[in-house]
Amino acid sequence: MSPPRGGIEPSSASYVRGSIFMAKYPFREIEKKWQERWERDKTFKSVEDPAVPREKRRYVLDMFPYPSGDGLHVGHPEGYTATDIYCRYLRMNGYNVLHPMGFDAFGLPAENHAIKTGTHPSVTTHASIERFRAQIKSLGFSYDWDREIATCESDYYKWTQWIFLKLFERGLAYESDMPINWCPSCKTGLANEEVKDGACDRCGTKVTRKRIRQWVLKITAYADRLLSDLDLVEWPEAVKLMQRNWIGRSEGASVVFGIEGGTETMEIFTTRPDTLFGVTYMVLAPEHPLVHDITTKAQHEAVEAYVVAAAGKSDLERTDLAKDKTGVFTGAYAINPVNGRRIPVWISDYVLISYGTGAIMAVPAHDERDWDFAKVFGLPILQVVAKEGSPEAKIGTCGDPDECFTEEGVAVNSGDFSGLGTADFKQAIVAWLEKRGIGKRAVNYKLRDWLFSRQRYWGEPIPVVHCPSCGIVPLPESELPLLLPEVKSYAPTGTGESPLANIPEWVNTTCPKCGGPAKRETNTMPQWAGSCWYYLRYLDPRNGAAFASKESLEYWMPVSLYVGGAEHAVLHLLYSRFWHKVLFDLGAVGTPEPFMRLVNQGMILGDDNQKMSKSRGNVVNPDEIVREFGADSMRVYEMFMGPLEVSKPWATSGLVGVSRFLEKVWALGERFGEDSASAAPPAELRKLLHKTIKKVTGDTATLNFNTAISAMMIYANELGRLETPPRALWEPFVLLLAPYAPHLAEELWERLGSGGPASTLARETWPSFDEALCADEEKEIVVQVNGKIRDRFVAPAGTAEPELQATALARPKVKEWTDGAVVAKVIVVKDKLVNIVVTKI
């Protein structure tokens, strides 16, 4: 292939129609050629070679995409490019690398599109997958495509269903008919994690409350391990913190209060058992079962009205912090176990039925929310904690407080406990309560069980049947996969029933246990189900007997590096960890955590610094970029924009700069000729080469791609100054560039005559550097007087401090600043600087 030089005819393949831009190098031919060759030769196929020691294996994973109808946007390739560069770098360093790609293919967008257009979601999903795959391939990523998976394929979701059965067997999947978050637009229930600011995370519609039968996964049973095992993984602290906050562990005590004149008792959870003497009222959530039992006749009507009103409110209305507290007195009184005091029991929607016991002891003096409530209803406020060292703390008693004090301090007005510090009091009172059997140490979590069923069509059917005589019966494993049936209408019913409920021939079945007539479960699984374990299927994607063989699990797991967007910090990453731990307990996987290291790539914003969106009209289409500038330019630009982890705006002008760099490299390759082989490399450039190898090696290994590219640009610029680049300076550079611009590098490598038609540089040895050559023989020494730079001179590297000091002090320019002053101190930093501290006379 002889590239055109100078003028290019419009008919040339390098001419891009609709653009006045003309490439100097034929990236389109080059990229096509190498992509075809990699595919033909299966260059990036991963094999479990037992000869490769464990420390030379890496599993590098991208968060797989949901193939939407819109195709890829420029944000997708950012993470994919990062992992691809890293994988190519690892292979050149002798690692055996597993780097797969697949598709998260069940989900609502395809189903909604199907309803609108009448095309089956399976058809649109497969079309989208085709499109995504082609787009991803156009960027030249080194995936092992033989391991591609799609979560909507029955040989994949067979194992999603299998894992569900395991969860069910272990009592981790159960039915419930609690009120749930319901999205009226998506017409399905949502998990807590899918609700953001009271709205559906997907479509933004305000969620309502609905009571329907649901499948729920007992993720709370793993709360403690999900929390503590965060210490095992190398993840961004921000993500760990988000998960810790989401799990929300809090330690305290549960305390039982008796009800006056009755046998009922009321259990509450508190993190401040040291404030028990300050309880002036109690509050039950409106849904609390005790409400009906203890409400007095006189209060019955008011209470009933409040309960009905609360039930009709959305969570958002109930949890709006700005609104005033509301509530109703039940007429009942509880007895404070620590002092026998009689305290009124109220109901209010500021107490949540789903946390703790759904009931609280109210200590208005030391809790903002109780304070607000007490102020609204004129309830007494009794201070029982005083600031350490305050006069109240000393005398152990005090008057009415005029503000709420929520910090720790010293107990007052607390009987024998007065004078104790908060921490000591907590220990003492828990012991006191435990001795009397009316309370104990307790731990509570914000984390709720995971609402797992969706009232929609395009998802994995839940593999259980409902039998009138046997109850809920799981399908035997041999009946998996339970296929998603073809339907004529997959429109959601909106009633809380899945469209599957309308297919009698599918719903009506026989009970696997008793053989009698039974009905299939008609809810489907949420989109998260398939993505919970896909990283395991890549290990052994065609295995019909297990989700993955023991050998493949043992060979590759855990994932060494996982790259994806921060939006999954809680959702996918928490769910996935949960399933993995269940599989670990089953002995099905060998590691407690799936993803050892996690990196979140930053978002690529539009050139207006706003989130890319169709409505803003600032979306950049990667296809156009690849067509006009080539995949290599796209890859290198996305990595050159800035650090991987931060958000940064797209600027096509910046892309042009990168494109020019690659063109310069191509032109350098053109200049490389016969005489290059023997040309002696200039010493300075040889040093620069070794410095560049060192910099690019270090920066690639640590994913600091932007500075690695900068180093390569500097080197290419210097190399460009030479008449003919010597081979010894050129070859290693081509290898350094290879992970970043693989198509261009392969072509240049081939032109170097390095191999036959089947060859590739994908497994060539990464260049090494000579540390001695990276060091400068001469150093520029900066001379400061009182911290300001006044002069500089060159000294041999390693010159001793006293010598540097003497040289600096003798410099005429320095003397101008030190004359007529007393040199108080001289600081010398070897190879760097001399700072002369003077005091004026």
Q: Which stretch binds RNA (CB under 7 A): 241-249, 377-385, 489-497, 531-539?
A: 241-249
Among 100, 252, 364, 496, binds RNA (CB under 7 A): 252
Q: Which stretch binds RNA (CB under 7 A): 314-322, 424-432, 460-468, 760-768?
A: 314-322
Q: Which CB atom, from 505 or from 771, has the smaller least distance to RNA?
A: 771
Among 83, 138, 455, 784, binds RNA (CB under 7 A): 784
Q: Quickly list DSSP for 289-331.
A: THHHHH--HHHHHHHHHHHHHHHHS-HHHHH-TTSPP--EEEE
Inter-residue contact 271 to 356 (CB < 8 Å)? no
One symbol per residue from 123 to 142: x for binding RNA (CB under 7 A), - otherwise; what is it?
A: --------------------
- Under the binding rule (CB under 7 A), the answer on residue 615 touching RNA is no
- Under the binding rule (CB under 7 A), the answer on residue 778 touching RNA is no
Site for RNA in 200-239 (CB under 7 A): 237-238
- Under the binding rule (CB under 7 A), the answer on residue 4 touching RNA is no
- Under the binding rule (CB under 7 A), the answer on residue 629 touching RNA is yes
Among 196, 436, 440, 751, binds RNA (CB under 7 A): 196
* Helix, strand, coil share of the chain (percent; to 5): 40, 20, 40
- Under the binding rule (CB under 7 A), the answer on residue 832 touching RNA is yes
Among 355, 432, 584, 793, binds RNA (CB under 7 A): 355
Cα gap 87→742, rounded to integer Å: 12
Q: Which stretch binds RNA (CB under 7 A): 123-131, 135-143, 162-170, 778-786?
A: 778-786
Cα gap 161→44, rounded to integer Å: 31
Q: Give the number of residues in contact with RNA, rule: CB under 7 A.
A: 95
- Under the binding rule (CB under 7 A), the answer on residue 776 touching RNA is no
Range list of β-strands (E), 595-637: 598-600, 604-605
Provide long-range contacts, Cβ within 8 A and 24+ apart, for 470-478. Answer: 470/511, 470/513, 470/514, 470/516, 470/518, 472/175, 473/511, 473/512, 473/513, 473/518, 474/165, 474/168, 474/169, 474/512, 475/161, 475/165, 475/512, 476/512, 477/162, 477/165
C-alpha separations of 374 from 43, 334, 346, 369, 398 in Å: 72, 17, 11, 9, 19
Among 71, 248, 592, 698, binds RNA (CB under 7 A): 248
Q: Which stretch binds RNA (CB under 7 A): 46-54, 94-102, 320-328, 334-342?
A: 320-328
For residue 528, what are its two tokens?
């998260």
Cα gap 676→727, rounded to integer Å: 6
For residue 185, the minimal CB distance to RNA (Å) is: 19
Among 264, 792, 799, 821, binds RNA (CB under 7 A): 792
Q: Which CB atom, from 661 or from 672, has the smaller least distance to RNA?
A: 661
For residue 583, the minimal CB distance to RNA (Å) is: 26
For residue 623, the minimal CB distance to RNA (Å) is: 15
Q: Which stretch binds RNA (CB under 7 A): 26-34, 122-130, 177-185, 779-787?
A: 779-787
- Under the binding rule (CB under 7 A), the answer on residue 51 touching RNA is no
One symbol per residue from 801 to 830: x for binding RNA (CB under 7 A), - otherwise; what is it?
A: ------------------------x-x-x-
Among 37, 131, 137, 369, binds RNA (CB under 7 A): 369
Q: Which CB atom, from 551 or from 567, has the smaller least distance to RNA?
A: 567
Among 228, 245, 469, 489, binds RNA (CB under 7 A): 245
For residue 538, what are its two tokens?
């890549």
For residue 540, what are its two tokens?
């052994």
Q: Which of 276, 224, 225, 254 is nearest to 442 (CA)?
A: 254
Residue with the two structure tokens 């009571």: 211
Q: Which residues pair with 473 in a beta bridge?
A: 465
Q: Which CB atom, from 581 or from 790, has the smaller least distance to RNA?
A: 790
What phi and psi, each to the nearest 5 degrees, are found at residue 325?
A: -70, 145
- Under the binding rule (CB under 7 A), the answer on residue 314 touching RNA is no
C-alpha separations of 820 from 498, 675, 815, 826, 841 in Å: 92, 61, 9, 16, 7
One symbol per residue from 557 to 596: x for binding RNA (CB under 7 A), - otherwise; what is it?
A: ---------xx-xx--------------------------
For residue 311, the minimal CB distance to RNA (Å) is: 15
The strands making up 464-467's β-sheet, listed across from edge to edge, are 471-474, 464-467, 517-520, 508-510
CA 297 to chain centre: 53
Helix axes 652-671, 705-719, angle to 10 degrees: 40
Q: Which CB atom, from 390 or from 647, has the smaller least distance to RNA?
A: 647
Q: Which CB atom, from 153 or from 632, has the smaller least distance to RNA?
A: 632
Q: Which CB atom, from 285 or from 410, has the smaller least distance to RNA?
A: 285
- Under the binding rule (CB under 7 A), the answer on residue 56 touching RNA is no
Cα gap 101→107, rounded to integer Å: 18
Q: Which stretch binds RNA (CB under 7 A): 29-37, 93-101, 192-200, 397-405?
A: 192-200
Among 32, 37, 341, 446, binds RNA (CB under 7 A): 446
Site for RNA in 15-44 (CB under 7 A): 19-22, 24
- Under the binding rule (CB under 7 A), the answer on residue 635 touching RNA is no
Residue with the two structure tokens 């994919």: 80
Q: What is the 3-state secondary structure (H, E, C) of 765-824?
A: CCCCCCHHHHCCCEEEEEEEECCEEEEEEEEECCCCHHHHHHHHHHCHHHHHHHCCEEEE
Q: Which CB atom, from 102 or from 439, has the smaller least distance to RNA?
A: 439
For residue 119, the minimal CB distance to RNA (Å) is: 32
Among 165, 393, 713, 719, binds RNA (CB under 7 A): 713
- Class of residue 497 by CB neighbours under 10 A (exposed 0-12, middle 13-18, buried 19+): middle
**Which three-class secondary structure state does DSSP give residue 99?**
coil
Among 395, 483, 546, 789, binds RNA (CB under 7 A): 789
C-alpha separations of 510 from 166, 457, 467, 471, 485 in Å: 21, 22, 8, 12, 17
Among 651, 728, 774, 809, binds RNA (CB under 7 A): 651
In angstroms, how far apart are the furthest CA atoms of the chain?
108
C-alpha separations of 838 from 165, 271, 826 in Å: 79, 60, 9
For residue 175, what are its two tokens?
């039915």
Q: Which of 107, 110, 101, 104 is nearest to 150 (CA)?
A: 104
Q: Which CB atom, from 246 or from 490, has the smaller least distance to RNA?
A: 246
One symbol per residue from 325 to 344: x for binding RNA (CB under 7 A), - otherwise; what is it?
A: x-------------------
Q: How many helices (DSSP H) and strands (DSSP E) are in the chain? A: 28, 31
- Under the binding rule (CB under 7 A), the answer on residue 269 touching RNA is yes
Among 786, 799, 805, 807, binds RNA (CB under 7 A): 786
Among 85, 105, 139, 360, binds RNA (CB under 7 A): 360
For residue 663, the minimal CB distance to RNA (Å) is: 6
- Under the binding rule (CB under 7 A), the answer on residue 194 touching RNA is no
Q: Which stretch binds RNA (CB under 7 A): 257-265, 585-593, 635-643, 726-734?
A: 635-643
Q: Which CB atom, from 37 or from 249, has the smaller least distance to RNA?
A: 249
- Class of residue 109 by CB neighbours under 10 A (exposed 0-12, middle 13-18, buried 19+): buried
Q: Which stretch binds RNA (CB under 7 A): 79-87, 466-474, 528-536, 636-644?
A: 636-644
Inter-residue contact 289 to 352 (CB < 8 Å)? no
- Under the binding rule (CB under 7 A), the answer on residue 509 touching RNA is no
- Under the binding rule (CB under 7 A), the answer on residue 318 touching RNA is yes
Inter-residue contact 355 to 446 (CB < 8 Å)? yes
